[in-house]
Amino acid sequence: MGIYASYYLGRKDGIESIVFENLPKLIECLDNCKLNFPEDYNESIHKMSIHMNNVGPSSLDVSTEEEATLIDRVVSELLLYDTLGLITGIEDSLIQWIEVPIMKRYRYAHDLKSILPNSSGYARELYRRILFEGMSMANRGGSVYKLNNDLDTISWLLPHEIERFMPELSTIIEKPNFDNDEEVGIYIIHSAMSKAQEENCALIVTIG
């Protein structure tokens, strides 16, 4: 099956407003799970969802890795899994998929420098973040997105990051033909960023 990179349109703030707007739906889903599917119920995620909904964005300021990981799990329940529709009747994902070619992550260059030797440290950091590290909404220095399987990740590029990142890929994008999958991967990322830029919003990248 493999692990794929997928691209979606976010909001100008990335994913934060999407998450907080939809927490009541997740809580409803977990309320139902507690009653009807206790074997699948996770009390810690339920409590964190309620806490985030009650407190708002300041709930993202945490002091422990356990709290940061729980916030990441809440995000995963909302954006990576197709469970809400069973309870709320929502059929569409909370984030809009961008129609670009789908490619397994191992086909992407592991390091941007290997295909773009003159790329900046900034560009390499963004590339590594979206494909290999993931991000966390939790405000705890250095938090990276964590799930139990260590495979699924989510990350995002804000509009100002896209504007700065895109020109660094032009050397490959301007080629009449691509020589390998790694260059195709650059084309895919650039195409997804272009769509997000047209919509004046963030680009969301999921790995899984």
CA-to-CA separations, 40 to 3, 93, 157, 204, in angstroms, rounded: 24, 21, 33, 28
How many Cβ atoms are within 10 Å of 122's Cβ, its own excluded? 12
Entry pTM: 0.90
The tens digit of pLDDT for each residue in 112-145 reads: 999 999 999 999 999 999 999 999 999 987 777 7
- pLDDT surpasses 90 at 14: yes
Residue 45 has pLDDT above 90, yes or no: yes
pLDDT score for 67: 94
Residue at 23: amino acid letter = L
Domain ranges of the chain: 4-13+96-207, 16-88
Looking at residue 129, its pLDDT comes to 95
147: phi then psi, degrees, rounded to nearest 5: -125, 170
Determine the pLDDT at residue 60.
96
Collapsing DSSP states into helix, strand and coil, what is residue 6? strand
Element (H, E) at 57: none
Given this model, what pLDDT does residue 79 score? Answer: 84
- Asked if 144 and 133 touch (Cβ cutoff 8 Å), the reply is yes
pLDDT in tens, 156-199: 999 999 999 999 999 999 999 999 999 999 999 999 999 999 99
pLDDT value of position 83:
52
Q: Report long-range pairs for 38-42 (Cβ below 8 Å, ≥24 apart).
A: 42/73
